[in-house]
Each structure stands twice: as structure tokens, then as C-alpha cells.
Chains A and B, each alone.
Chain A
């Protein structure tokens, strides 16, 4: 079809937006709330088999013998597949040893219990809190960096030196829906997989390699997913095994990980620990020197400690000396966890900065404002710091560290700041306009719960002058045009760009069909409020439905892609955010409660203000979780994970999160800086930028700083549990 290209794809001007930037309800909200939305866990196929894994109970062991005969003898057990056989070295608790496939989930569990494995238990390393006690062989250098002259800076009489140590433990993704898959062969070399994934368009290719069939013969479906957070990009061992065994037994196979298995094996966020020394100029109160030793573990393979993100954001400190170590430990292997490396960077940097402010007797807000020029976006942070301070009522509630009254209940405020990229991923979209007036849009994308479906509907509706509920959004199926994986806050920029272009393309084609019947040029038409109108003759118009009758038999197909070298960019990257916490601490019990939490965030042009705010709420809650509750506890004796369950792997409930205020930076914002300078920024101008990662980065540091402000001492490591808070108050705070 000829491409006309007379309409602009640029986002409409602020005054002309009908849906973009408004608070639009999720188009799939009712389906989700009523249970009509089907997740992978809900997929059950006729004649389907269930698979369950036997997992290793040891942190480090060699398999001496496996006896599967009793499992195989159970009626209804169809297959026992050894995943890691005799002689294999297992390097963490929870790794898969064997898979039992049976007629029912219960029989598969019986089969797993009937397998006998003899292990040679080997020495383990599961505690990385003390760098000096980690065996040499488990410690690898992770880089050294030097800028300026640190020794000279620290030696200067004008410089005050502050030292501290900080830690943020290994945690998991703990997706509400665990990982899993249903695999069904529909022909000799044709496979359909329903899989809980962040990567609908990317699974088939990965599976094809393992199964040795053409990728195009594999259909991947994921209409709804119960969370991924970076842990669901691949088919995984279970996906490949489900497909292989389904082919062998000629029956569909379903494998969903049990909660313990998911917590043990399906990904962790690497820990981060640091010894930090800061130098601050006595007069200017500017940070002039930074020295740090950073370490952490990303599991048996090590890795996951990034020297480039500490100091976080304040990268322009003139004198720096940094070293990092990666620790290999017999703990669950790492996977990307929402904003990889950034929460660690914030938790190890913003805490040290707040300690410096406290040591100098400077208001923490003033200290951060005073040092924003050490970041890459001082104007954005200045605006956000001042807006967040108003929302948390900083002037009213702030007090010098520890000066919080005499009773057991003390309050405190704390700050953290963050950044993220959020560039658009590659995406292709098709928009169909049918002769009956209906419209659908197809992308091989996925909605992680972030509102992607709704955003796509809004973009089509805005472009075609319709309502979001009139648009059928078809995603979650690899038969649709490919879109990137949803990771790194790349989805909204990608799908909104491709969808906008596809919708504009479709509209141009419709205008060309309709124009003759109205006796005007296609370029004279606009689509608004369910009608096609002439710009030159205001009373000349036709309803959307009637206009679509001119299409003929075949529907119009509009195509859009991201990137599109022939078009201007509609999305970009690079955001800043500021968060502030107001906490109440019971000094007698060490229990920390969130009173109010303010998140001020920039993310470019916002498509749906409501789901954008929801993203921030979700990120903040996830951050409160790791600030106060979450950690993987390992037994020093056996090396086992002691809390692979949701009883002792604690997450907050709605009663634990306090009041959360999400403030989005939109449009032109003018703020007067402390020096009297008027700062004006147009936050819509860069176009659409991703938002998934940023709001989860700062809560750990902001809450830790608020607790320090409340109780007068730093609790060195997260989560801020009663035992650690009381230890810090007793002067015994450490990294343990």
C-alpha cells in the first residue's frame, strides 16, 4: 500500500491531547479483578501432564548416586528426567537434580519424593558480609578506578573526613506468579508454549535452538503475567524440558515452580557492601573526595558488583579512589532485578552522603541541594528536591539527627536520589481499521502489569479520535509483529512509538478513502471525537463508522516501527527522581513504620498518568519491602536458605507501607532555586521515557537515612529489622 506521509507523527501539543497524559483506567482492570484474565498458571490443556523438580537440599555437594527406580514405579509417573546426573557438582541450594512428569501435580510430587540421591556434601561459602573473611578463591577483583588525588584531598586541613560502612543484602524477585510454562505440540515440529515471560517475541528463538525446530514453528503466548522484575527473559531449564518431554510423550506438559523453588533458583539481586570514606570541604560543604571498597555476591558465578555505580549519581566528585570485588558464593544465581545495580548504588552512596551531612551538622536537604552540581542533571534534581521537600513538609518535620524527643516513638526524614535510562526498545506494530469501524492493534509485546495494554490503546485512540475502550489491543503472542523484551524500562517508549506510527499510517489511508466522498483533499481531514472532519469546511464531517464504510472489503493496515530512521524520535532516555521518607521508629522495639513516602519522578511525556503513578506506587512498595523486610537468610552450618517461603521471606502488606505520594514531573515546570535562580524545564519535550525501574531505586537509602535521622545512629545494613535497629542503638551496629 502506498504510504502517503502527510500526517505528522509528533505527539500532539499539550492543549490538544484528549487522552495522553490523563488518568485513564486500565483497559484490562475488570478482567484481572474478576479472574477472567488467564495467566500461565491458569492454562490447563486436555490430557496434560505435570512436571515437578527434585531440587538439591545442599549449598554445595557432589552427586554420588541417583536412584529413580521407585519414582518410575509409581503408577501415573510418566517420565523421570535426570537434570544433573551422578558426578555433577551442585553449587547452590535449590538447583534442579531431576524432573518428574506425571498425570497430576500430586503424583509428580510423590515421584520427586521417591527419588533417592546420595550426596557428598562439600564446603560452602554463604556469608559475604566480611570481605576479609571470604576465602581467597571466592574473591575476584572487580575493578579499580582513580580520579584526581584522593590522598591530597583527605590530607587538606579544609577537608572533614567521614567514614562508614553500608550493606544491602541479596534478595529475590518473589514474583506473585512463579516461573513456569505449558508446552503443547500441535504437529511434528509445531509447538505452542504458554509461558510466564517478559519476552514474548524472544522466547521462540531461544527455544528453537534447544529443540532444533524452526523458530517460526513455535508460538509463544503470555497474555497476563504475575510479575517478572527482570527474572523472566528466557525459556529456562523448565521451559526447554517441558517442550522436550511433551514431544516425547505426545502430551502437553505443565511446569510451574513451587514457591520455595522459585525463591531458591529463579534469580536473585546481588548483594552490595561498602566501606566508604568521604571528604567534605569544611567551608563550602561540598564533597571533594570519595574512597570506597565495594563487594557483593551474585551467586556461584560471582559477578553482579558494578564498580561504575558507586558513588551513585554524584559521579563528579573530583577526587575518587574505588575498588570492587565479586564474591562467588553458594547462593542462588543472580538475574537482572528491577534497575540492576542502581538500588545497591543508592543504598551505598546516599547513606554515606547523609552521614556526612549529619557529621557536619548540615540539614540533609541543604547538603544534597548544595552538591547537585556533582550530578549529571543538577537542574532536574534541584526542582525535584524542592518539590519533594514541600510534599513531605521538610521544614516542619526535619530536625538534626537524633534530636527527636524523649519518648520511645521517634520520627525522622531521609532523602535519596536516582537516575535511569529508559530508552525505547525495538518494536513493530500493526493497526487494523475494519469496514465495520472496529480497530485493533497488534504487537508481540507483553504487559507486565505496568499498563502497557492501556498505553497502546490510548495512543491508538488519541491518534484516531476514538476512545481507548474502542481499541482492541492484541499483545502477548509471538504471532504478532515482534517487540522487544520488557526490561530496563524500555517498553513504553518502544510500543508507544511504533503504535503511534502505525496508527498515523492507518489514518492516512483512511483519509485517502474518505476524502473523495466528502469532496476534500485527504490532507484537509482530522479525526476527532469519533468523527472525521474537514479543517477547511468546519460543518463538513462524517462519523467514524460511516467513514469506515468507504474502506471496502479489506481492512486498512497501518504499520509502525521503532526505531524509524525516516521519522523523528518520539521517545528518548534519561530521567531523574528524588524520594523522601518520613518514618516512625519505636526505639524500645526497633520496629520501623513508614508514615509518609514521597516519590517525585520525571519520565518524559506521560501517556497514562494513572498507570504511571501506579508504577511509582509499585516501585516504592517494592523498595519499602527491601528496606524493611526482605533478605535471603542462609544457615551458617548447612549453607541452606532458611527462608524460601513467604512466611519468613517477608514482604509488606498494605498496612505496612504508609501514605505514598507519587508526584510526576509533567509539562513545563518552573522552580526557584535556593540561589534565587529560576529553573524552567519542559519535561514532556524529550518524548516518552520508561518508568519501571526508577521508583524502586531510592527507597532503601531514603528510609535508612530517615531512620538514622530519627534514632541518631546509622543502621549500617538493610533490611532495617528490629534486631538491627536495636543493635545500632546499643552501639553494636555492623554489617551482619
Chain B
């Protein structure tokens, strides 16, 4: 691991000032469950780490009027055990429970879950976020892509690893971001982007910006997450579906269906939403929505099975609300 500076500011303002203009200048440190291994493996080598865990007030979950505000450094374990969350957003509790390592749940934070880097084994071996060979050719399509995207975008074949993002997007959550220009808000859905080169990042965040909180409207939607994982021991999901439904009796007033681990961004399944909107939530509709959710999938040579898994995840998430 290269030598680096370590800063542990007390306020968000100080933290922002300590961050540099380029990705190589600095990195925000919270739980460190991903960042430290990236540094040890030489994938990133920031010159300075800015620890945000000592900043007061970032580690709370609060119900403020009709909004639940989750501080950036709330741990996954805190989220999992929180009654306010469990009562309103079981899909988030289920997603946090899917991180089956107590060590990671105790260290890993909510914002860290959103910002962690992809687990693509080419990226982690040093081939860059777009996994390119020596001549710039993409390695994933002809390589071993059993865990990769079935909805690739551009040159991006990795899947985003966030456990919480699909649920947060389904719940119409927003991230609160602090930077040199002040504060801004961004729907979680818009947090992710497709990098144009190996030098770009996969987040719509600048190097000097820090996520400080996530806010979720507590508007009574029924919601659920279903993850397909092979192991009970900590394991990345092979496909995830988070759903949020506004129901009137058995009738779906409006639906949000989000797939995880199928593409470089959590994927809104708008086709599935259209099938559900205005319809009665019954077995046939659920089947139709699950089919629609994976329409247009472009699986690679070894990951066709994930199309079925994504479909099953949607079906089971919806069925748990029916």
C-alpha cells in the first residue's frame, strides 16, 4: 500500500476542504470495507484519506415529518436493526440483511454501500473499470462473464454491487451531497453513470463531494426486496429485485420495480411497472411483470442464467406483497 495522509475532520465543511480536485488526490473513508482492499490491491492509491466517521450527526436515522433521513455513516447493522426503517421500508431491511457478514454490517456504512466500486474480477485484477485488454479491447464479452451484466451499457459490463441502491431507487430516495459549491440533492436513481473511459468513475459525484445523508419519503408504499444469492455466507447477489407499490386494495396505483446486479447501474424495470400500473396484483400480473422486467436483456456468453434469476427475483418480491 502506498503511503498516504490521513485526516479526521470534525465537520462536513472541513472534510470537503480536505478533499482534492482529482480522484487520485483523496478518498472519503467511512467503514473502509471496500476502500482498504482497493488500496491494498493497488487498484486505487489516493494520497489522502478523509475519515468522516468522526463528524457528528452523520450516524443517525431520523423521522422528520414525512421523510426518513438516514445519515451517511449509519452502519448496515444499525439500518438492519432500526424499527423506523423496518416498519416503513422492509425492502431496505431485507437488503441490509442480505449482507450476511456481521463484520461488514458493523463496519460498512449506508453511503459506503452506495459508493463501493464494482466487484468485476477484471477490474479488481487491474484491467480498469471497463475491463480492457492491452489494445483497449473489452475483455468481458469473450472472457468469463458468469457474474457480469445482462443489461450492459456502452462498454460497461460490470454490475453495480450496491445492496441498498435498488431498494432506495424503488422508494424514490434522494442523496444529500456536500461539496465546495454547497449542498445539492440527487435522486439515488441518478447517482450512477456509465464511465466513458478507465479514468472515469461510475458515480455522478465529484472528487470533492461527500454524501452526507439519504432521505426517503415515508409515503406508505408497500415494498420488498428479493435477492438471489448462492450462499448464506457473505455472497454477492446474482440478481436482486426491489419493488415499491402504491396499492388501493389489490389494485396497483403505481409501481416501481428496480433490478440490481444485472447492469452497471441499478435498473428501473419500466416495462414491468407499466404492466403493474392500474392492474390488480395477481399471479398472472406478477408473471407478466417479471417477464417484462427482463425484456431486452442482452446476456453474454456465460450469464444467460441471470435473466431467469432476475425474473424470479421480481416475481418473488412482488409475490411477497400480494
Contact = CB atoms under 8 A, between A and B. Distances in A.
Task: Answer yes or no: are A and B bound together in one complex.
Answer: yes
Interface of A: 106, 109-110, 113, 588-591, 628-629, 633-638, 640, 642-643, 645, 647-648, 650-656, 721-723, 726-727
A635 B302 CA distance: 12
Interface in B41-80: 42
Given A633-B144, A634-B144, A652-B233, A723 B312 contact: no
B35 to A, nearest CB: 15
Contacts of B146: 633, 723
B218 to A, nearest CB: 32
Contact of A722 (B133, B234, B238): B238
B87 interface: no
A589 B121 contact: no
Contacts of A642: 121-122, 125, 144
B34 to A, nearest CB: 11
13 contacts: A106-B1, A588-B312, A589-B309, A629-B230, A633-B146, A635-B143, A642-B121, A643-B121, A650-B230, A653-B233, A655-B232, A656-B232, A727-B305
Nearest to B127: A638
B125 A722 contact: no
Nearest to A727: B305
B320 interface: no
Contact of A655 (B100, B228, B238): B100
B309 to A, nearest CB: 6
A591 B125 contact: no
Return the 7 tightest CB-CB contacts between A and B, nearest first: A653-B233, A655-B232, A723-B305, A642-B121, A726-B305, A588-B312, A656-B232
A589 B143 contact: no
Nearest to A643: B121
Contacts of B236: 647
A594 to B, nearest CB: 11
B230 A591 contact: yes
Interface residues of B, number: 32
A643 B146 CA distance: 12
Nearest to A634: B144
B121 A637 contact: no
* Secondary structure type dominating chain B contacts: loop
Contact of A629 (B124, B231, B302): B231
Contacts of B235: 650
A538 to B, nearest CB: 58
Contacts of B305: 590, 722-723, 726-727
A638 B231 contact: no
A643 B121 CA distance: 7
B228 A723 contact: no
B251 interface: no
Given A643-B121, A648-B121, A722-B309, A636 B143 contact: yes
A711 to B, nearest CB: 14
Contacts of B308: 588-589, 726
A722 B302 CA distance: 12
Nearest to A648: B121
Contacts of A113: 2, 42
Contacts of A628: 230
Contact of B230 (A106, A633, A654, A722): A722
Given A589-B309, A655-B100, A640 B230 contact: no
B119 interface: yes
A60 B121 CA distance: 20
Contact of A650 (B124, B125, B231): B231
A589 B228 contact: yes
B191 interface: no
Given A640-B125, A652-B233, A722 B228 contact: yes
A638 B133 contact: yes
A368 to B, nearest CB: 30
B297 interface: no
A269 B199 CA distance: 39
B1 A109 contact: yes
A89 to B, nearest CB: 20
Contacts of A635: 122, 139, 143-144
B85 to A, nearest CB: 24
Given A634-B144, A642-B144, A656 B231 contact: yes
A472 B231 CA distance: 42
B312 A589 contact: yes
Given A589-B309, A723-B302, A726-B308, A638 B139 contact: yes
A644 B160 CA distance: 21
A656 B144 contact: no
Contacts of A106: 1
A636 B300 CA distance: 14
Nearest to A655: B232
Given A638-B139, A727-B305, 16 more contacts: A106-B1, A588-B308, A589-B228, A590-B309, A633-B144, A636-B144, A637-B142, A645-B124, A647-B119, A648-B121, A653-B231, A656-B231, A722-B230, A722-B238, A722-B309, A723-B305
Interface in B122-141: 122, 124-125, 133, 139
A726 B231 CA distance: 16
Nearest to B120: A642
A591 B227 CA distance: 12
Interface string B292-312: 000000000011010011001
A732 to B, nearest CB: 9
B232 A636 contact: no
Contacts of A722: 228, 230, 238, 305, 309
A722 B142 CA distance: 21
A656 B233 contact: yes
In this complex, which of A629, A647, A655 has the most chain B Cβ atoms within 10 angstroms of its Cβ? A647
Given A653-B233, A723-B305, A637 B312 contact: no
Contacts of B309: 589-590, 722
Nearest to B229: A591
A226 B233 CA distance: 20
A643 to B, nearest CB: 6
Contacts of B232: 653, 655-656
A637 B139 contact: yes
B300 to A, nearest CB: 12
Contacts of A721: 230
B127 to A, nearest CB: 9
Contacts of A110: 1-2
Interface string B207-234: 0000000000000000000001111111
Contacts of B233: 651-656
Contacts of A726: 305, 308
Contacts of A633: 121, 144, 146
B133 A637 contact: yes
Nearest to A258: B40
Contact of B228 (A591, A645, A651): A591
Nearest to A657: B232
A355 to B, nearest CB: 23
A135 B142 CA distance: 20
A241 to B, nearest CB: 23
A504 to B, nearest CB: 47
Nearest to A93: B125
A642 B145 CA distance: 10
Contacts of B147: 648
A113 B228 CA distance: 38
Given A113-B42, A633-B144, A726-B305, A652 B231 contact: yes
A642 B124 CA distance: 9
A332 to B, nearest CB: 16
Interface in B271-322: 302-303, 305, 308-309, 312
Contacts of B139: 635, 637-638
A113 B2 CA distance: 9
Interface in B225-281: 228-236, 238
Contacts of B119: 647-648
A654 B232 CA distance: 8
Interface string B181-215: 00000000000000000000000000000000000
B98 to A, nearest CB: 13
A520 B286 CA distance: 90
